[in-house]
Amino acid sequence: MALREVVQFPDPRLKQVSEPITEVTDEIRELARDMIDVMYDEPGIGLAAPQVGASVRMFVIDTDWTDDGNDRNPTVVINPVISDREGRITWEEGCLSVPDYQATVERDATITLRGTDLDGNPIEEHAEGLRAVCIQHECDHLDGILFIDRISRLKRSLYVKKRKKQLAAEQA
Ligand code: ZN
C-alpha cells in the first residue's frame, strides 16, 4: 500500500487545532499504523496526525530506533497532555513538514506526558532531553504550531522566503 503523503509548510492544514479523539475506531487504528510506517520511511523520530492531513489529537514517537530495523519501539499517544514542565533546554530541531531546514528551539527540559494508547490504557511518561523535545514538538503540531513559530521572526521570515522560492522553482 502506498504511504500517506506528508503535509508540508505552508499547507494551511498544519495551522489547524486538532480535535480530541473520543473513540478509537478502526479508522484511528489504521491511521496510527500508517503514521508509524511514514515515520520510519521518511525517516523521522516522531509524527503527528496533522502531518498526514488528519486533524485529530494523536502522535507517534520513537526516539531510539536505528536503521537496522531491529529495535523499533513506536509509542502511539492519543489525546496527549503535558504537565510538570521544568527547566529550559535548547535543541536543534527539524520537521518532516518543514523541508530542508533546522533551527535551535528553546523548550522545557523535563516534562510529564499523559495520554492513552490505542487500547485505552493510560500513558504516563517522564521525559527529558531529546525525548522531551520531541514530545513537545509533536504536541505543538496538534495545536497548529510548527517549530518555526518558536524561532525569531527574522529567522522565520528568511525560511519562509527560501521555501517560497523553492516552491516556485518546483512549479516552474
Ligand atoms: Zn514536526
Domain boundaries, the chain: 12-171
Mean pLDDT over residues 15-24, rounded?
A: 98
From ligand 1's centre to the CA of 80, what distance in Å? 15
What's the confidence (pLDDT) of residue 37?
96
- 79 C-alpha to center of ligand 1: Å? 17
pLDDT band at 78 (very low <50, low <70, confident <90, very high): very high
Active site residue 124: no
Report the chain's mean pLDDT, rounded to a whole number: 96
Of 86, 124, 138, 170, which one is the catalytic site residue?
138
Place of cell 522565520: 156
pLDDT of residue 69: 65
Strand partners, 86: 110
pLDDT number for residue 138: 98
**Pairwise CA distance, residues 29 & 35, whole Å:** 10
Percentage of residues in the chain with pLDDT exceeding 90? 93
- CA nearest to 104, candidates 74, 145, 147: 147
Residue 172: predicted pLDDT: 83
Q: What is the CATH T-level fold of the domain 12-171, as seen in this structure?
A: Peptide Deformylase (3.90.45)
Strands 46-48 and 58-61: antiparallel
**Which residue from 77, 69, 61 is spatially nearest to 133, judged by alpha carbons?**
61
Q: What is the pLDDT of residues 23-73, one digit of tens each?
A: 999 999 999 999 999 999 999 999 999 999 999 999 999 998 877 766 899
Residue with the larger pLDDT of the pair 171 and 54: 54
CA of 121 to the centre of ligand 1 (A): 25
Q: How far apart are CA 5 and CA 107, in angstroms?
A: 28
Gap from CA of 125 to ligand 1 centroid (Å)? 20
CA 108 to centroid of ligand 1, rounded, Å: 17
Supply the pTM of this predicted model: 0.96
Give the residue-averaged pLDDT of 134-153: 98
